[in-house]
Amino acid sequence: MSRRARLLLLAAAGLVVAGFFAAACLRLPAFGAAVHPYGERAVAAALGQRTANTVSSVNFDQRAFDTLGEESILYASVLSAVLLLRLARDERKHEPRPAPVLPSTRLFGAVLLPVTLLTGGYVVAHGQLSPGGGFQGGVVLASGLHLAYVAADYRALGRVRPLAVLDVADALAAGAFSVLGLVGLVAGAAFLQNTLPLGTFNTLASGGLVPVVNAVVGVEVASGVIVLLAQFLDQAVEVVER
């Protein structure tokens, strides 16, 4: 198909989509309206389960089965990236040479690396109380670790990144989510139902199953993102054609 014909087809399809979308928007509830029936029920359910962060309650308690699917998608994508970017027959790895780094940059990285890892851990651990949770904190942990690459070099990253351990941690955490679902079945309730003791509202141990699933997701996201980024970094730094 020629470029011009393709653009014409796209314009026609775009006009149809735009027309129907605008018509649908006109029938939506007004922007900023006070009535949110699902939201109000979710808030009431979250407070009933003594979870202060309603978004975490929705993700890890009320819609935990949906999050199991989301987490499996994450695991599958890490797996496929590892598979797609594996070393081909006509490639080999070469040892990256140490790069010159300003001492001040190196010091900055060494000071900030523990701070960012602590921040990530905090965001994961307080997922049921304050904004954040396993997904957000996991990404903070994983990207914080790469300060070692930004502020030093690839060899320094290799020393703070135990890839073999993280590979296993990713798989174990992904599986642990499903196993945690069985806790509900053992207690005679539904799969992934929140049957653990709920604790005191607004404390670290509140929310029953929520902080446990949250921590498992934090481990999976952190190790998954590190493994994922490792594949891309390998391609850029280590892998050359034979």
Partner 1 sequence: MSVFPYLMAGWILLVGIYGLATSRNLIQAVGCLSVAQSATYVLLLAVGYRRGATAPVFSDLPVGAPVVDPVVQALALTDVVVGATVTAVLLALVIQLRKRHGTVDPERLTGLRG
SS3 92: strand
- The reply to whether 21 sits near partner 1 by the rule CB under 8 A is yes
What type of residue sits at position 38? Y
Q: Which residues does residue 240 pair with via DSSP β-bridges, in sequence order?
A: 92
- Which residues 193-212 are close enough to bind partner 1 by CB under 8 A? 202
Q: Return the structure tokens found at 55.
A: 């978004």
Q: Is the dihedral of CA 36, 40, 41, 42 positive or negative?
A: positive
CB of 156 to partner 1, least distance (A): 24
Q: Which one of 68, 74, 142, 212 is in contact with partner 1 (CB under 8 A)?
A: 74
Q: Which one of 12, 36, 162, 163 is in contact with partner 1 (CB under 8 A)?
A: 36
- The reply to whether 67 sits near partner 1 by the rule CB under 8 A is yes
Q: Which DSSP category does 85 fall into?
A: T
Q: Return the structure tokens found at 52.
A: 């202060």
Scanning 33-41, 92-100, 114-122, 141-149 for contacts with partner 1 by CB under 8 A, the matching segment is 33-41
> How many other C-beta atoms are found inside a 10 Å radius of the C-beta of residue 158?
16
Using CB atoms within 10 Å of the CB of residue 64, give its burial: 0 to 12 exposed, 13 to 18 middle, 19+ buried.
buried
- Which residues 120-149 are close enough to bind partner 1 by CB under 8 A? 129-131, 135
Q: Return the structure tokens found at 106.
A: 């190196």
Residues near partner 1 (CB under 8 A) are 6-7, 10, 14, 17-18, 21-22, 25-26, 28-34, 36, 38-39, 42-43, 46-47, 52-55, 57-59, 63, 66-67, 70, 73-74, 76-78, 80-81, 84-85, 88, 129-131, 135, 202, 228, 231-232, 235
